[in-house]
Every structure is written in structure tokens, then in C-alpha cells.
Amino acid sequence: MSNLLNYAIPGIPFGCIYALVAVGLVLTYRSSGVFNLAFGAQAYISAAVFYDTAGTHHWPTWAAFVVAVFVVGPAVGFVFDRAIFRYLRTASATVKLVAALGLLVGLPALIQAAWFGTKAKLRPPAVGPTPEHFYRWLSYGIDSNQVAVVVATVLVVVGLGFLFRSTAFGLRMRAVVESPRLLQLNGVNAERVATSAWVLSSVLAALAGVLLAPLYARVDSTNFTVLMVAAIAAAVFGRLRSLPLTLLGGIVLGVGQEVLTKYLPLGNLLVKGFRPSVPFILLFALLLFWPGLRKPDVTDPLAGVNPPPPPLAASLRDERLERLNRVMFPTFIVVFLAASLFALPSFWLFLVTQAIVMSVIFLSYTVIVGMAGQISLCQATFAGVGAFTTAQLATNHGVPVLIAMVAGALVAALVGVVVALPALRLGGLYLALATFAFALMVDNLVFPQTWAGNGQTGVSVPRPQLGPVDFTANRAFFLLALAVFAVSAFAVIFVRRGTTGQRLAAIRGSEVAAETIGIDPKRAKIVAFALSAALAGLGGALLASLQGTVSSDSFNYFYSLFWLVLVVTTGVRTVEGAVNAGFALVFVPELLHHLPGRWANLEFVLFGFGAINYAKHPEGAVEFGKRRSIERVVNWNKRREQRRPSPPGSVPPAPDEQREEVRA
């Protein structure tokens, strides 16, 4: 028993940190409607400032603490709110989640690259008195850092509980999530309330970051992932509402993890993978089985005043432009094909092929996010399933590669259904989190196995052969990839135009109304998941065959996040968006690579701009640009027609021209 307690007590401070981050998540969610996955990144910034000032520059601890927690933390929150989230006040939860994801993906890399560079990592200084003070009670010991963490957490939870329940400010923060506009109508400056909420929650992030730093020997990205997932699990335990339950959830998780780590046998690969996956498994299980998780159906009563979403650029018609397009598009395709086949050096042809293959994977986002409106954070996992299935079948079981690829896509579709089936009950944010947990679980438990991804060693996939046609040569493989892409793209377009696409559009518009005309939303979403997973799996299999070998690192959870943000930024509703994302993914780093060294971080800066641009144009940069340029041409044509001397008795410009402009 005392043994158990000895294991359990060191878990408490960890649990408190989990709880602190979780409370921050709940607070941001309740006060801004954003499930701020970038919370960890914010914590990281303040931890970094704390290191740098107290550790490297030998500031006094209190000064470093004040600067990191009460200056840098809120400043970061303020900037986030002003630059991104204020444009998203009335946006859907999906859009907000993606924006936060963009920050999660882009920030740590940016900070590390811009700030620390190659500087050696220091052991972070402690918050409490140095040297650490040990307190003993009976036979249990706890040091001053740990006490500081526990005390701070309890203070924060009590303080926030009071703020939310018993103050006018807390009430406003709760109201601003429901409808910022209604709050405005009641004479409250909703903007200021929302910004304050961001600043407040950012102080929490900063505090968590600084307190966390001394607990780990050093703060690396793995720790942060575990921290974030554990915090998410604690927040889910509190149903994204209850602060006491969240606190309890965090502590139970922290203690449970420590105890489990001590008692689990050291053994085979599965157990080795199991230990770090405990929070992931727990999060997944919580999402599936924790009662009381309901679809967050916060609908703004003033949503009716929102302008309708802009029509797809394709629905704007201009005769002249269409005629031009009919000539230009085939010309472009022919030139592209000819250039790729005959002119491009092998290296660049390889890159083009890779971009096309990535476009196939990205089409899976067009289906699940663009059409079904569901956020999936495990598309890379589906791609991995496709790739590894193909590899195992082709290399170890002698199945022809092309058939193995199809099998890979089918297995991925099956996995997609298996993931979607239980998680669809929840939808929205919870579905996104469940797919996130699933991706992490597969990363740790399945992909390292020899029968799957074979860990970092990876597996090899030969190039396919079809009768006399050998796709080993890069040019032949390029054609194969292009064919697969063409088939996939047409499939996506047909499905979007067809019954399935319409059903999904209806469900996105109003799930209840769709049900009352006899549409089964569950089935429609499962179909979408299956199709999307199949496309990802197919793309993954192609990618594996293109590269020759793939390892579990090629498809880890991070890619799911990164790809999602990328595709959504370029445009998730159209095939062009997916293609642009594919080419951007391959060629932007390649081109930046040729720039002088100090531009090396440009990639991340671009990414940041992408996130901001996305906040303003959630339909995607490509779609936005396309619509704007078509509108320009249309307007230009009209102006030119107007300038022409009009024959006597001619009609003034049609009224529907004006409507067109209003819509724009």
C-alpha cells in the first residue's frame, strides 16, 4: 500500500499540470467557442521565455516568472485574438478548430527555428526555492516544485470557478460564446469580452508552461503531445463544462499513469507501445463511453443574419470566360503532360509525381471535410493503412502490386468505417478528438509492429507491373499516378454532384430536417468516411510505391494535422484546392530550399499567414482567389459594354447584375 502511495504521489503534480491545461482548454472553449489545440504551443512559448531569461540570462526567478506568465502569455493571447480569432466569432466550430490546429502545427516550429535555433537546451530552472526543498510526511516525500504546482492549480481552479459563477464578467464570457451579436445588442462590448477571455486563458497557458518545465528533464515535443492529449482527456472527463470534474480527471490521469508505468511489465513491443499510449487510449475510450457528452448544439439565434456562404466560383458564369476556358484548359493539360513527359529532368518529374500522389490523398479531405463537414484528424493513419497493407501483401505475400493497392484502399475504407461507427454518435469536435486519439493509438501500437509498418525501419513496396507495362520507370509511374488521380478526382466530382453529395449537403445544413425527410445521417456520414479513407489509403499506397519504402514515420499523427490545415487553407471544397495543396506541399519547401539560409524559416511564416488568411476566407485561398478573379473579369466586361455608346432605347444594365455584386 505504501508502495503504491509512493508511486502515486509524484503523479499528483503531473495530474495538476494536466488539470491546469485542461481547465485552460475548458475556459477558452466556454469563453470563445474555440477548442484551442494550440494551448500547448502557447504554454511552450512562455516556458521558452522562462528558460531564456532565468536560465540563460540569469534573471531573478520572480522577474522571469512575471515576464513569462503575466507579460508574454497575455500578449500572445491578445495577438491571437486580434490576428485570427476575432474574424471567427460567428464562424462554425469546425472553422475555429482548424484555425487552432494551424497554430498548433505552425507555432512550435516557428519558435524553435526563429528563437532557439541550434542553442543547446538548458535544464529549466525551478519556480520554487533553489535548492529544492523536500517536505516529508511519514514516509512520503514531495519537493517544493511539486508543491508549487499543486498550490497554483488549486488556486486557479477556485478562482476561475468564482469568476465564472459569481461575477458579471464571467456571465458575459459565457454569453459571448452563445451569440456575440446578441450580447452587443444588449449594450455589452462583446469584442472586449472575447479578447479578455483569450488573454485570461493565455495567462493560464503560460502558467502551465512555466510550472511544467521543471517537472520534465527537458521539454520536447513528445512531452507536449502527451500533455495535450492528457489535458484533452481531462477536459472531456469534465464534459468541457465542469471545472471540478476536469481537475479530478487530470489528477486521476496523472496518478494513474505513474502507477501504471511502475506496475506494467517491461516486455514486448506491444507493451512498450502501450505505456506511452495510455492517455490516447483513455481519451478514445472516454469519448466513446463517457455518458453526458452531447453534441454541442450551440446555435446563434442571430445566425439568420449571416450572409449566405459564397457560391462556388464554378457557379459564376461568364460566357467569354467559359469560351476562353474551353480552349485554355485542354491546352494547359497538353502542355503540362508534354512538359512532364519529355522536358522535365527526372528529379523534377519525381516531384511532380509526388505532388499528384499527394493530391489523391488530399482529395480524401475534400470528401470528409468539404462534403461531409466532419473534421478527421487521422487521414494520415488511413494513408498509412493503405500503404502498409499494400507493402505487406506485395512484398510478403506475392500479390501483384496494383491489386495490393486496391486492397490497401479497401482495408483503409474498412478501418474508416470502424472508426466512424462509434464516433459518429458525437460528431463535430468530439469526433475530431476521437480521430486524433485513434491516430495516436495506431502510431504507437500498430504501425511499429513488423506485420504493419515495421517501425522506423519501414517496409518496401515495389513499383507495379501490369502485363507487359512496367511502371518502374519514373515516366511510366507518372502516367499511372496521373490516371489514378484523374479517376479519383472524377469520382469525387460525381459524388459531390450526385445523391450522396446532396444528402451530405442537406445534413450539413440541418441534420434534423434531413432526418425528417427520411435521410439517415449516420449512414451518409459513414459512406463519406469510407470513401475518404479509401482515397487516403489509395494515395498512401501510391506514395509508398513511388518512394520504394515507407516507415511508420511517414504517416504519423502530425501529418494528419499538417495536411488538414494545408488543404483547408488552399480550399477543401474543390478538386483544385486538393491539387494546389499537393503541389504546394511538394514544391514550396523545394523552392525555399534554394533560397539563402536565413530564409529557411519562410515556410513557417507562410504557414502562419495561411492560418490568418484562412480565418478571413474559410472557403480557402484558391477558391477565394478564383472567385475574385472571375468577378473581376465579369465586371470588367460589363464596364466595357457600358462604355460603348448605347443604341437609342436600349435597356439599362440588368438588375441581376446588382444582385451578383451584392452577393460578392
Q: Which residues bind other proteins (CB under 8 A)?
A: 306-309, 311, 491, 494-495, 497-503, 505-506, 508-510, 512-521, 527, 531
Min dist. Cβ of residue 639 to other proteins (A):
26
Question: Cell numbers at residue 653, please?
Answer: 444594365
Q: Which is nearer to other proteins, 354 or 532 (CB)?
A: 532
Q: Which is nearer to other proteins, 519 or 546 (CB)?
A: 519
Cβ neighbours of residue 294 closer than 8 Å, sequence gap 6 or more:
none
Min dist. Cβ of residue 520 to other proteins (A):
5
Q: Which is nearer to other proteins, 515 or 631 (CB)?
A: 515
**Around 265, how many Cα atoms within 13 Å sit in the side-chain half-sphere?**
4
Q: How far is CA 66 from CA 50, 53, 132, 548, in A?
A: 9, 11, 20, 52
Given a contact cutoff of 8 angstroms between Cβ atoms, the answer to whether 394 and 401 are in contact is yes
Distance CA 10, CA 150 (A): 11
Distance CA 486, CA 224 (A): 40
Q: Which is nearer to other proteins, 521 or 537 (CB)?
A: 521
Min dist. Cβ of residue 309 to other proteins (A):
5
Distance CA 6, CA 661 (A): 70
Q: Which is nearer to other proteins, 641 or 661 (CB)?
A: 661
Question: Cell numbers at residue 16, please?
Answer: 495538476
Given a contact cutoff of 8 angstroms between Cβ atoms, the answer to whether 61 and 125 are in contact is yes
Residue type present at position 499? T
3-state SS class at 427? coil
Q: Which is nearer to other proteins, 238 or 521 (CB)?
A: 521
Q: Which is nearer to other proteins, 2 or 315 (CB)?
A: 315
CA angle in degrees (0–180, nearest 5) for 474-475-479: 115
Q: Which is nearer to other proteins, 475 or 522 (CB)?
A: 522
Q: What is the per-residue burial (b if ≥16 Cβ within 10 Å, else e) of 638-650?
A: beeeeeeeeeeee
Min dist. Cβ of residue 423 to other proteins (A):
18
Distance CA 399, CA 404 (A): 6
Given a contact cutoff of 8 angstroms between Cβ atoms, the answer to whether 187 and 173 are in contact is no
Question: Cell numbers at residue 61, please?
Answer: 526567478
Min dist. Cβ of residue 412 to other proteins (A):
16
Q: Which is nearer to other proteins, 167 or 510 (CB)?
A: 510
Q: Which is nearer to other proteins, 165 or 663 (CB)?
A: 663
Given a contact cutoff of 8 angstroms between Cβ atoms, the answer to whether 435 and 309 are in contact is no
Distance CA 405, CA 483 (A): 14
Question: Cell numbers at residue 604, please?
Answer: 513557417
Question: Cell numbers at residue 152, please?
Answer: 497554483
Min dist. Cβ of residue 497 to other proteins (A):
5
Q: Which is nearer to other proteins, 126 or 514 (CB)?
A: 514
Min dist. Cβ of residue 20 to other proteins (A):
33
Min dist. Cβ of residue 195 to other proteins (A):
29
Min dist. Cβ of residue 516 to other proteins (A):
5
Min dist. Cβ of residue 503 to other proteins (A):
7
Min dist. Cβ of residue 209 to other proteins (A):
40
Min dist. Cβ of residue 303 to other proteins (A):
9
**Residue 118: burial class (beta carbons within 10 Å; 0-12, 13-18, 19+):** exposed
Q: How far is CA 606 from CA 123, 359, 361, 363, 613, in A?
A: 32, 20, 22, 22, 10
Question: Where do runs of H (alpha helix) occur along 33-134?
Answer: 39-50, 61-66, 73-83, 93-111
3-state SS class at 455? coil
Q: Which is nearer to other proteins, 177 or 495 (CB)?
A: 495
3-state SS class at 466? strand
Distance CA 201, CA 204 (A): 5
Neighbours of 336 (CB within 10 A): 12
Q: Which is nearer to other proteins, 222 or 658 (CB)?
A: 658
Min dist. Cβ of residue 368 to other proteins (A):
14
Given a contact cutoff of 8 angstroms between Cβ atoms, the answer to whether 98 and 568 are in contact is yes
Given a contact cutoff of 8 angstroms between Cβ atoms, the answer to whether 520 and 506 are in contact is no
Q: Which is nearer to other proteins, 53 or 376 (CB)?
A: 376
Q: Which is nearer to other proteins, 306 or 646 (CB)?
A: 306
Min dist. Cβ of residue 178 to other proteins (A):
16
| Helix (DSSP H) and strand (DSSP E) numbers for the chain | 27, 6
Place of cell 476521437: 434
Given a contact cutoff of 8 angstroms between Cβ atoms, the answer to whether 224 and 440 are in contact is no
Min dist. Cβ of residue 437 to other proteins (A):
27
